[in-house]
């Protein structure tokens, strides 16, 4: 269905529905990948697929200057990475609460900095 939306937008049929359909399909696709990732014990195959799909949406969001699609791709990818990292911390460290807190502190600062930089580039591209 996502492909149908892209094709309809490309041939300029129902162009005004593209954002609504994209919003729905991207959330459905990425949440399904995350569900599979967590259901199958943090499978590396699902994580790689999540990276690939998030990268595609990230590139598309950069192309059309959509902050919403950019946030979706970053948020879903962050959840997947965090799940894998927290699982690794839980298995390898005895002080997992401190290490997990440190991970979330550092990673949230990095993402906030990245989003701030992306916001500037999107704002410049929209002028």
The pLDDT score that the predictor gives to residue 124 is 66
The pLDDT score that the predictor gives to residue 127 is 53
| C-alpha of 60 from chain center | 12
Q: What share of the chain has pLDDT > 90, as a percent?
A: 28
What contacts 48, CB < 8 A, 6 or more positions away?
none
Start-to-end CA span in the chain (Å)? 32
pLDDT < 50 stretches in the chain: none
Count other C-beta atoms under 10 Å from residue 71's C-beta.
13
Q: Are 50 and 77 in contact (CB under 8 A)?
A: yes
The pLDDT score that the predictor gives to residue 121 is 74
The pLDDT score that the predictor gives to residue 2 is 66
In tens, the pLDDT along 19-34 reads 778 788 889 999 999 9
The pLDDT score that the predictor gives to residue 21 is 80
Q: Are 33 and 46 in contact (CB under 8 A)?
A: yes
Q: What is the pTM of this model?
A: 0.79
In tens, the pLDDT along 50-66 reads 999 999 988 988 888 88
């Amino acid at each position: 269905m996502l492909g149908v939306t892209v094709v309809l937008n490309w041939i300029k049929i129902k162009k005004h529905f593209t954002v609504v359909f994209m919003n729905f399909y991207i959330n459905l696709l990425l949440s399904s990948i995350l569900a599979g990732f967590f259901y199958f014990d943090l499978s590396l195959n699902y994580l790689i697929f999540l990276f690939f799909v998030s990268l595609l949406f990230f590139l598309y969001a950069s192309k059309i200057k959509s902050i919403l699609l950019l946030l979706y791709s970053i948020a879903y990818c962050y959840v997947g990475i965090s799940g894998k990292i927290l699982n690794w911390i839980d298995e390898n460290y005895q002080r997992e609460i401190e290490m997990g807190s440190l991970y979330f502190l550092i990673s949230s600062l990095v993402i906030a900095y990245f989003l701030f930089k992306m916001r500037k580039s999107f704002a410049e591209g929209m002028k």
